[in-house]
Amino acid sequence: MKRNHKNGQGMVEYIVIVAIIALAAIAIFGVFGDTIRAKMGGGVTELGGVTADKDAALATKSQQYMKDLK
């Protein structure tokens, strides 16, 4: 009786890939967070949002958001 352990191995590989993608997304947001927030804020303002909310969101820099993550 031979057992096949490839099912568990495949699941672990997918979990590792998902973890790497999540870490990359966090790093990208840390580097480009200010630009992303500015572009999204401009779009929200154009769609009828409040400019004061956009300005408040842009007042905090990406480095501060990354420091505040716990």
User: Within a domain: residue 49?
Assistant: yes
- Give pLDDT, residue 15: 94
Q: What is the mean pLDDT of residues 3-15?
A: 77
Number of domains into which the chain is organized: 1
User: Within a domain: residue 40?
Assistant: yes
- Give pLDDT, residue 40: 79
User: Within a domain: residue 11?
Assistant: yes
Please give the mean pLDDT across all residues of the chain. 78
User: Within a domain: residue 14?
Assistant: yes
CA distance readout (Å), 31 to 3, 14, 39, 47, 48: 46, 26, 15, 26, 28
pLDDT digits over 24-44, tens only? 998 888 888 888 888 877 777
User: Within a domain: residue 1?
Assistant: no
Q: What span, in angstroms and rounded, lies between the C-alpha atoms of 50 and 16?
A: 41
Indicate if the pLDDT at residue 20 is higher than 80.
Answer: yes
Indicate if the pLDDT at residue 6 is higher than 70.
Answer: no
